[in-house]
Amino acid sequence: MQERIYRAPRFDQALARVKAELGGDAVILSSRELENAHTGKREVELRALPPGAPIPTTKFGVHTDGQRLLTRKLERVGVPAAAANTLGRAVARAHGGAPPSLSVARDALVEVLRREMIFAPALAQGGARVAALVGPTGVGKTTTLAKLAAKASLVEHRRVGLISVDDYRIAGAEQLGRYADLIGIPMEVAHDARSFEVALRRLADADLILVDTAGRSPCDTDATRRTAETLHGAQEAVEVQLCVAAATGHSELRVMIEQHTVVRPRKLLITKLDEAVHHGGIIGAQVMAGLPLTYFTTGQRVPEDIEVASPERVASLLIGERLERS
Q: Which residues bind ligand GTP (CB under 6 A)?
A: 137-143, 172, 214-215, 271-272, 274-275, 297-300, 305
142 near Mg ion, judged by CB under 5 A: yes
Distance CA 248, CA 23 (A): 43
Distance CA 118, CA 310 (A): 9
| Among candidate residues 224, 222, 243, 221, the one with its CA nearest the CA of residue 232 | 224
Q: Whole-number minimum distance, CB 215 to Mg ion, in Å?
A: 6
Looking at 36-150, which runs of residues are DSSP E strands? 42-49, 130-134
213 near Mg ion, judged by CB under 5 A: no
By CB under 5 A, which span of 50-58, 133-141, 280-288, 311-319 interacts with Mg ion?
Answer: 133-141
Query: Toward Mg ion, which CB reaches closer, 65 or 188?
Result: 188
Q: Whole-number minimum distance, CB 124 to Mg ion, in Å?
A: 24
Q: Whole-number minimum distance, CB 161 to ligand GTP, in Å?
A: 18
Residue 3: contacted member of ligand GTP, Mg ion, none (CB under 5 to 8 Å, by partner type):
none
Q: Whole-number minimum distance, CB 236 to ligand GTP, in Å?
A: 23
Query: Toward Mg ion, which CB reaches closer, 142 or 241?
Result: 142
Query: Toward ligand GTP, which CB reaches closer, 137 or 261?
Result: 137
Contact 183, 192 (CB under 8 A): no
CA dihedral (135, 136, 139, 140) in degrees, to 10, reads 50
CB-based burial of residue 170 (10 Å sphere; 0-12 exposed, 13-18 middle, 19+ buried)? exposed
Residue 71: contacted member of Mg ion, ligand GTP, none (CB under 5 to 8 Å, by partner type):
none
Per DSSP, what are the bridge partners of residue 34?
A: 43
Query: Toward ligand GTP, which CB reaches closer, 83 or 276?
Result: 276
Residue nearest to ligand GTP (CB): 215
Q: Whole-number minimum distance, CB 62 to Mg ion, in Å?
A: 47
CB-based burial of residue 126 (10 Å sphere; 0-12 exposed, 13-18 middle, 19+ buried)? exposed
Binding letters toward Mg ion, positions 44-83, x by CB under 5 A: ----------------------------------------
Per DSSP, what are the bridge partners of residue 242?
A: 134, 268
Q: Whole-number minimum distance, CB 281 to Mg ion, in Å?
A: 22
Count CB-CB contacts under 10 A for residue 88.
Answer: 27
Give contact residues for Mg ion (rule: CB under 5 A). Answer: 141-142
